[in-house]
Amino acid sequence: MARDKPTAGIEIKVHSRHGEHEVQPAAARSRPSGTSPIEFGQYRPFKKWVPWLVPVFVVANSVMFTISMYVNDCPKNSASCIGRFLGRFSFQPLKENPLLGPSSSTLEKMGALEVDKVVYGHQAWRLISCLWLHAGVFHILANMLSLVFIGIRLEQEFGFVRIGMLYIVSGFGGSLMSALFIQSGISVGASGALFGLLGGMLSELLTNWTIYANKLAALLTLLFIIVINLAVGVLPHVDNFAHIGGFISGFLLGFVFLVRPQFGWVSQRNAPRGNSSTSKSKYKPYQYVLWVVSLVLLIAGFAVGLVFLFRGENMNDRCSWCHYLSCIPTSKWSCNSQKFSCETSQLGNQLNMTCLSNGRSGSYSLTNSSSTEAEKICSQLCS
């Protein structure tokens, strides 16, 4: 964030023309004459919190990844696992999962987001459970490092309740948008919640604009980071709709959860009795307006999205170009991610399979009767 941790170098500058207060680093200018070091050097307007929830989130995600690898038990289902010395914690072959992780069937079993199970299987809990699952080592490392760098600072500034709510609700918003636009395959990861934290940082900067020094530089830096991360989402196999949904949810929630009171109100509250000439409002009028509008938009968006989801709507039918927000096809890669369905019958180790999409059929001898091998055969038959 664009704000440094308050120390003895933070002081209050009074603008006589407007009568408002602004936080500025003491190093940026000299202390005004006639002011005491106590008044300017020891003033701490906002409480600092000890972060513990974000580390708990990191541990919870790591534990869930370890459990998913234990459940996956690659050596039992595949002969070409990566890191076989790890035993049942070894990884799926790279051609199945290049991120070094479990199989898609294991993630589905553990609670990955799959639209058919949410809509027709009445498993709405998958909109939340998918936030705690990750596709591989590279996936969880990238997300947890981002969570530590972003989340720790936010929790120090605003506390565990507000940041916890921001994280969970943004993650839900990301899952909801993903389910509305990507209805084939499965989706896992905390990326939607992380983009919610980025969105919250942006709205927090805007709604608390008057208390920041170097605010324009902070805004441009934050926008650059957000744009770069969203741009990466147009690559194949990245669920950018979860990123966008999480970001929008977090952006709106930031106006609700991360609003700061005016320094005039804080100064008046901490001033000796009788020293205040006029009563200051805790928040500026535009902060109240943003709070109400954002809350209404968020509730309405979630309500409409859930109605469309449980009616089985595919939002790509209503928006012909929206799929480009998640993947832009080029000569280097394709964006097709079709989910194949096959009809099977099995007698001993002999598997008879027919692809329902193209009608092709074949007979195969199974080395083992795992669902992973059957899924692979179905994919080859239908492609």
CA-based Rg of the chain, rounded to a whole angstrom?
Answer: 26
Nearest Cα neighbor of 185 from 351, 62, 352, 327 is 327
Q: What is the mean pLDDT of residues 326-331?
A: 82
Nearest to 315, CA basis, from 217, 183, 185, 196: 183
Which residue, 85, 90, 93, 94, is CA-closest to 70? 90
pLDDT of residue 281: 78
Asked whether residue 39 carries a pLDDT value surpassing 50, the answer given is: no
Closest of 236, 231, 288, 232 to residue 259, by C-alpha = 288
First to last CA, the chain: 47
Lowest mean pLDDT among 176-190, 304-318, 346-360: 346-360
- The predicted pLDDT at position 132 comes to 97
pLDDT in tens, 64-114: 999 999 999 999 888 889 998 999 999 999 888 889 999 988 999 999 999
Counting Cβ atoms within 10 Å, is residue 185 exposed (0-12), middle (13-18) or buried (19+)?
middle
The mean pLDDT of 312-323, rounded to a whole number, is 88
Q: Computed from CA positions of residues 50, 56, 61, 62, in that sequence, does the dihedral angle turn out positive or negative?
A: positive
Most confident of 51-65, 181-195, 234-248: 51-65
Q: Please state the rounded mean pLDDT for residues 113-129.
A: 93
Model confidence at 237, in pLDDT bands (50, 70, 90)? confident
Q: What pLDDT sits at residue 42?
A: 39
Higher per-residue pLDDT: 164 or 281: 164
Kindly list the structural domains of the chain, giving each domain's residue range(s) and its CATH number in brackets, ordered by start: 52-264+283-326 (1.20.1540.10), 342-382 (no CATH)
Q: What is the mean predicted confidence (pLDDT) over 148-165?
A: 94
Of 30-34, 248-252, 350-354, which range is least confident?
30-34
Residue 367 pLDDT exceeds 70: no
Angle made by CA atoms 293, 49, 27, in degrees to the nearest 5: 90
Active site residue 191: yes
Residue 134 contacts residue 65 (beta carbons within 8 Å): yes
Beta bridge partners of 350: 347, 365
Q: Mean pLDDT in the chain?
A: 81
What percent of the chain stands above pLDDT 90? 47
Convert the pLDDT of each residue in 17-37 to its tens digit.
Answer: 344 444 444 334 444 444 333
Q: What percent of the chain has pLDDT over 70?
A: 77
Residues 101, 110 contacting (CB under 8 angstroms): no
Q: What are 355's strand-pairing partners?
A: 342
Higher pLDDT, 22 or 243: 243
- Higher-pLDDT residue of 263 and 302 is 302
The helix/strand/coil state of 258 is coil
Residue in 243, 249, 294, 326 annotated catalytic:
243
pLDDT at 216: 87
How much of the chain is helix, strand and coil, in % rounded to 5? Answer: 55, 10, 35
CA dihedral 124, 127, 130, 131 (to 10 degrees): -140
DSSP for 151-201, please give it: HHHHHHHH-HHHHHHHHHHHHHHHHHHHHHH--SS-B--SHHHHHHHHHHH
Round to whole Å and give the CA distance between 317 and 319.
6
Contacts 24+ apart (CB under 8 A), 85-92: 91/136, 91/137
pLDDT given at position 295: 97
Q: For position 381, what pLDDT does the model report?
A: 66
Determine which one of 178, 191, 203, 249 is catalytic. Answer: 191
- Give residue 58's Cα distance to chain centre: 13
What confidence score (pLDDT) does residue 33 get? 43
